[in-house]
Chain A
């Protein structure tokens, strides 16, 4: 029998309804947004679960769940999933050869047809709820909007839509492929010509009388700029009685907020921004709890009843040594005059130094620490659920190949082995693959990023071993920054972000109030340097010139043991 790895993961759009239903952890916070009538932009890193949230709420999957649960589906808010990473939208004519009105016509036509096809797919799953008269009414409207002699005999509205889209796109693309020019005479297709009237026609049928349609536009950052502007113009449409848009993007940096009318859409007015960056400081944090739920769900579905923490147990030696280190931290606190009855100060000291002492007292000749335990795995994923599953998947595969039978747990030595291999692989990527794998990253850029990250890892190690008050700070913000002078630094950090070596977050500024960006390194980089993957509350403040000196000249960061300016107010999420 072939054993299926319970931590298998796929792009959400490739999953069948059963898998979506069984894998998805319903977070009611997000459901509230998706089910609202507001326009929403969901912002999250690649692999953070944006697609899964949208796909889960697509009509086909809602219906499958309702059927499985034996209940009537709720059609008050119908989600229509629209993927933007389809290569049709990446065709070259509008991106590379055409300009002006011709480019705009094709660009909008492809986008409109992509949404029409999505409507057709959604319609297919519900059209048996329409009676003959209602089907006829919808078909009349479709024939009026999209006349096609070839489709005269088609009696199903969804078939009509999907065949119309396919026929029209085939004719368009064959015409564009012919000859030496780009002469074409396509009819204009737009949201107002083809989408809105179809949604209105559906609303005139009994099952959809009260329906609000949510167009779930996934990966909108993949759309070319004009298509992004079209979507933004729709976001600017204030009447939400019939439809709204839920648009998922991978960072606002990659998404243009302009409209086709030349204006900009505004948060609060035109859309509500929801970000998927979940705090992940420990297993009780939002991400920690989410990670437990995701993995636990997979274990249960594989018939494994163990708790997540028992399936991925930490090394007993690691637990013991850590406990000893915490006791030493308590003793050190007393020696430093901290009163054990002052629980806050005492616990705070132990929290900061307990783990640090474990790492400090390891012999320089000792092997790398026993990285293991679900909490460690959760931290290594840096808040990205796909990274979490990837680690669990690989560990399961390794244990399966060792034991030749379904694992009841993943031994800590296997966990450690996989973690160290994955960390080494991440560094190999940093050293040798960046300019080959990341668009716009030159060999020079790659070399600078490698130097910068190596120096950052060394800096954090110095802090861990020697810092007097904040040894386990693992994130940094940039001080003495000048947008013009330090533009190169931002470019390098953006390339690193593209490579998912780095995540940019926003938090309370260290001084002057307001917000500032801070930078979270992919924790998978840490084990190769023997670093603690669990950080503490706090941020290192690194000067822009020092970051650039590390990148350009391989210069170590000065003052790894210097004190950081305090955060003005508690920021629990930035470890």
Chain B
């Protein structure tokens, strides 16, 4: 993305986590002439009020046009409409490229925005800043799994179901997913490495419903395209025989890989498990050394994605390389 282009915007969902501010500030530095568009959850408006003020002030100081909009993230229909409104507004303002700050953005909202921005042919760079250290838990009180609006695949009643889950350390949600859909087949992409105690947390037993799951290793932090290829290779042969439901329960970066899989394989449905309870003390600090910015691959772009990736790997060094575990 050009640093000086006035046709660019930063889109983010405000969070109380310290890394959110760090991520937006980095994007403001990299995109000094971009518009800043902050979405914030009505439910958690109080939790984010102070930091939003700080970020808006920083944008103002940098001479960046900034605005903020409340959204109801608990109601997917409303959140989807907010994603559409943002996209249409940016498009009408002549924006052609967006830096999407996925650092603390709920996966479902990320997918909504990626879909809407893609529909209007906008280039999207996805930015992500890992936390410095994690607390005990981020979210609890999960609700029923749901298929994602506009990304619900092509499903047929006479096909059995296959759940493909990119798992993290929270296997409770994986068990919930399997128990809900009772799929004929379960594929688990297990996150490799020991990042943030992943190995230690990734060992609880699967429920009896998933006892025959096929488990393969996967690096959700990978940016080289290798993990994308691993996942695609597992999923593509399943598509003719199964309704494939793809869930991203591990690293957030993997949710972007999941989106790109559905760009290539539109029959595959994305599944989301919402939560209604968040831990305000979940994360501490930010890990800017492992900050990532990567171009989103759209179905109408074909091979351009790989070229973008190579180009950016050359120009941005560590920020687009695969973070080691």
The binding surface of chain B is classed by DSSP as mixed
B157 contacts which chain A residues (CB < 8 A)? Answer: 83, 86, 88-89, 110, 113-114, 117-118, 165, 169
Residues of chain A within 8 A of B277, CB atoms compared: 435, 442-443
* Cβ of A92 under 8 Å from chain B: yes
Q: How large is the interface on A (under 10, 10 to 19, 20 to 34, 35 or more residues)?
A: 35 or more
Kindly report which residue of chain A lies nearest to residue B141, judged by CB atoms: A442
In the bound complex, CA of A86 to CA of B245 (Å): 11
Interface contact tally, CB-CB below 8 A: 135
By the criterion CB–CB under 8 Å, are B156 and A85 in contact?
no
Measured in the bound complex, the distance between the Cα atoms of B102 and A282 in whole Å is 57
Closest to B163 in A: A87
Chain A residues in 8 Å Cβ range of B175: 433, 437
Known: A90-B146, A92-B146, A97-B77. A436 touches B172 (CB 8 A): yes
0 or 1 for each of A53-89: is its CB under 8 Å from B? (1 = yes): 0000000000000000000000000000001011111
- B181 and A438 form a contact (CB under 8 A): no
> Do B140 and A442 touch (CB < 8 A)?
yes
Query: In the bound complex, do residue B181 and residue A85 qualify as a contact, i.e. CB atoms below 8 Å apart?
Result: yes
CA distance A11 to B185 in the complex (A): 11
Chain A residues positioned under 8 Å from B208 (CB to CB): 390
For B172, what are the chain A residues with a Cβ–Cβ distance below 8 Å? Answer: 433, 435-437
CB pair A180–B160 under 8 Å, yes or no, is: no
Task: Evaluate whether A425 and B205 lie within 8 angstroms (CB atoms) in the complex, with A165-B158, A435-B141 already known.
Answer: yes
Contact residues, B76-97 vs A (CB, 8 A): 76-77, 80, 84, 87-88
Q: Is A174 an interface residue (CB 8 A)?
A: yes
Asked if A1 is at the interface of the complex by the 8 Å CB criterion, the answer is no
Question: Nearest A residue to B274 by beta-carbon distance?
Answer: A439
Task: Find the B residue at minimum CB distance from A178.
Answer: B119
Residues of chain A lying within 8 A (CB to CB) of residue B228: none
A118 to B158, CA, bound (A): 7
CB neighbors of A among B151-191 (8 A): 151-158, 160-161, 170, 172-173, 175-176, 179, 181-182, 184
Query: Separation in Å of the B155 CB from the closest CB of chain A?
Result: 4
Check B284 for interface membership: any CB of A closer than 8 A: no
Contact residues of B between 236 and 291, Cβ < 8 Å to A: 243, 245, 266, 269, 276-277
A477 to B170, CA, bound (A): 36
Chain A 489-507, CB-CB to B under 8 Å as 1, else 0, gives 0000000000000000000
The CA of A209 and the CA of B234, in the complex, are separated in Å by 48
Number of interface residues of B (CB under 8 A): 48
Min CB–CB distance A85 → chain B (angstroms): 6
A57–B285 CA distance with the chains assembled, in angstroms: 60
Partner of A117 from the list B154, B158, B205 (CB cut-off 8 Å) is B158
Whether the Cβ atoms of A86 and B150 lie closer than 8 Å is no
Chain A residues contacting B140 (CB-CB under 8 Å) are: 435-436, 442-443, 446
Pick from B120, B156, B173: contact of A88, CB below 8 A.
B156
A92 and B149 form a contact (CB under 8 A):
yes
Contact B176 A438 (CB under 8 A): yes
Q: In this complex, what residue of B is CB-closest to A46?
A: B179
**Whole-angstrom distance between the alpha carbons of A178 and B184 in the complex?**
29
Q: Given the complex of chains A and B, what is the CA–CA distance between A93 and B147 in angstroms? A: 9
Residues A85-137 near B (CB distance < 8 A) = 85-93, 95-98, 110, 113-114, 117-118, 120-121
Query: For the complex, is A170 an interface residue (Cβ under 8 Å from B)?
Result: yes
The chain B residue sitting closest to A443, CB to CB, is: B140
CA distance A49 to B241 in the complex (A): 26
Cβ-based interface call for A162 (8 A) = yes
Contact of A169 among B146, B155, B207 (CB under 8 A): B155
Q: Tell me whether A436 and B170 are in contact (CB under 8 A).
A: yes
| Complex alpha-carbon distance, A89 and B160, angstroms | 13
Specify which chain B residues have a CB less than 8 angstroms from the CB of A445 in the assembled complex. Answer: 141
- Which single member of A87, A169, A178 contacts B147 (CB below 8 Å)? A87
Name A166's contact: one of B156, B205, B269 (CB within 8 Å).
B156
User: Which residues of chain B from 44 to 99 have a CB within 8 Å of any chain A CB?
Assistant: 75-77, 80, 84, 87-88
Q: Is A248 an interface residue (CB 8 A)?
A: no
Residue contact B141 to A88, C-beta cutoff 8 Å: no
Q: Which residues in chain A, 385-404, are within 8 Å of chain B measured between CB atoms?
A: 390
* CB-nearest residue of chain B to A438: B176
A14 close to B160 (CB less than 8 A): yes
Residues of B within 8 A of A177 (CB): 150-152, 266
B133 located at the interface, meaning its Cβ lies under 8 Å from any Cβ of chain A in the complex: no
Chain B proximity mask over A386-429: 1 for CB below 8 Å, otherwise 0 = 00001000000000000000000000000000000000010000
A120 to chain B, nearest CB (A): 7
* A220 sits at the interface (CB 8 A): no
Annotate A173-195 by CB proximity to B: 1 below 8 A, 0 otherwise. Answer: 11011111100000000000000
Which residues of the partner chain B approach A178 to less than 8 Å between Cβ atoms?
A: 119
Q: Does A325 contact B (CB under 8 A)?
A: no
CA distance A176 to B141 in the complex (A): 30
Which residues does chain B contribute within 8 Å of A440, judged by CB atoms?
141, 143, 276
Contact A180 B119 (CB under 8 A): yes
Within the complex, which residue of A88, A97, A438, A442 is in contact with B80, where a contact is CB–CB below 8 Å? A97
- In the docked arrangement, what's the CA distance between A170 and B158, Å? 13
Q: Does A520 contact B (CB under 8 A)?
A: no
- A311 to B142: give the CA distance in the assembly, Å: 42
**Inter-chain contact B245/A87, CB cutoff 8 Å:** yes
Is A14 a contact of B184 with CB atoms below 8 Å?
yes
| The one of A92, A166, A441, A443 that contacts B152, using a Cβ cutoff of 8 Å | A92
Beta-carbon contacts under 8 Å, A1-48 to B = 11, 13-14
Q: How far is the CA of A93 from the CA of B245 in the complex (A)?
A: 16
Kindly name the residue among B87, B120, B158, B176 whose own CB sees the greatest number of chain A CB atoms within 10 A: B158
Is residue B144 within 8 Å, beta carbon to beta carbon, of the partner chain?
Answer: yes
Q: Which residues of B lie under 8 Å from residue A437 when comparing CB positions?
A: 142, 172-173, 175-176, 179, 207
**Shortest Cβ distance from B170 into A: residue:** A436
Interface pair B184/A173, CB less than 8 Å apart = no
Q: Is B116 an interface residue (CB 8 A)?
A: yes
**In the complex, which residues of chain B have a beta carbon less than 8 angstroms from the beta carbon of A435?**
140-142, 172, 277
B181 to chain A, nearest CB (A): 6
Complex CA distance for A91 and B88, rounded to whole angstroms: 25
A87–B150 contact, CB under 8 A? no
Q: Residues of B contacting A96 with CB < 8 Å? A: 75-77, 80, 146, 149
Q: List 27 A-B contacts (CB under 8 A).
A: A11-B184, A85-B182, A86-B157, A86-B161, A87-B147, A87-B155, A87-B181, A88-B155, A90-B181, A91-B155, A93-B152, A98-B77, A110-B157, A113-B157, A117-B157, A162-B158, A165-B157, A174-B266, A176-B152, A435-B172, A435-B277, A436-B170, A437-B142, A437-B175, A439-B142, A441-B141, A443-B277
| With A88-B155, A436-B140 already in contact, 17 other A-B pairs whose C-beta atoms are closer than 8 Å | A87-B181, A88-B156, A88-B157, A92-B147, A92-B148, A96-B146, A96-B149, A114-B157, A120-B158, A165-B156, A173-B155, A176-B150, A177-B151, A436-B173, A437-B142, A442-B276, A443-B277
Q: Give the 8 A-B residue pairs with the shortest CB-CB distance, closest first.
A: A436-B172, A114-B157, A442-B141, A88-B155, A117-B157, A97-B77, A117-B158, A96-B76
